[in-house]
């Protein structure tokens, strides 16, 4: 019957999933995998106090939204169309920024984010830079609201 799987197919799928999990565990830290598979603070924010979006050289898009109480970040969210490491970086950085002042959050470096994730493969370290740069731009936009897009 169409749509039914045979026991051999079920076994093959299970073996492939186990192999993928082994390869991911060999390549990424447990923290990267946890943040990528179960990201926190995902989603757009209505009327944020600060917002920015950047496109990375790799083609990933990152957006960061901030809600403030005075100079303190009380809510931070992100959206991305990027890969697992980009999702992990967005999730971890929003958690790192929460409760910090704008000045403290602006001081977070890509190397701090990579360390918080227990490392990234060298070919994915640019994901941390993209997320940190997007946060910094959102912080600047808290101080000077974004202007509406105009014609060139």
User: What residues does 75 pair with on adjacent strands?
Assistant: 67
Rg of the chain over Cα atoms, rounded to whole angstroms, equals 19
Prediction pTM value = 0.83
Is position 27 within any domain? no
Count of CB atoms situated within 10 Å of the CB of 130: 23
The yes-or-no verdict on residue 22 having pLDDT over 70 is yes
Q: Give me the pLDDT at residue 128, please.
A: 96
Residue 77 token pair:
């969210």
Is position 55 within any domain? yes
Active-site residue numbers? 58, 127
Q: Give me the pLDDT at residue 78, please.
A: 98
User: pLDDT confidence of 144, banded at 50, 70, 90?
Assistant: low
For residues 91-110, average pLDDT: 97
Is position 148 within any domain? no
Asked if residues 51 and 66 have their Cβ atoms less than 8 Å apart, the reply is: yes
Domain residues for the domain of 82 are 34-143
35/9 Cα distance (integer angstroms): 30
């Amino acid at each position: 019957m169409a749509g039914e799987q045979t026991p051999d197919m079920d076994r093959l799928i299970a073996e492939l999933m186990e192999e993928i999990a082994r390869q991911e565990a060999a390549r990424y830290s447990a923290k990267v995998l946890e943040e990528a598979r179960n990201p926190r603070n995902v989603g757009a924010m209505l009327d944020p106090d600060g917002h920015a979006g950047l496109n990375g050289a790799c083609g990933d898009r990152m957006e960061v939204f901030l809600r403030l109480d005075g100079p303190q970040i009380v809510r931070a969210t992100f959206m991305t169309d990027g890969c697992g490491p980009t999702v992990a970086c967005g999730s971890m950085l929003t958690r790192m920024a929460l409760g910090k002042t704008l000045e403290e959050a602006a001081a977070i470096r890509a190397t701090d984010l990579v360390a918080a994730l227990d490392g990234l493969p060298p070919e994915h370290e640019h994901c941390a830079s993209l997320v940190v740069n997007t946060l910094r731009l959102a912080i600047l936009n808290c101080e000077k609201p974004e202007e509406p897009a105009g014609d060139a």
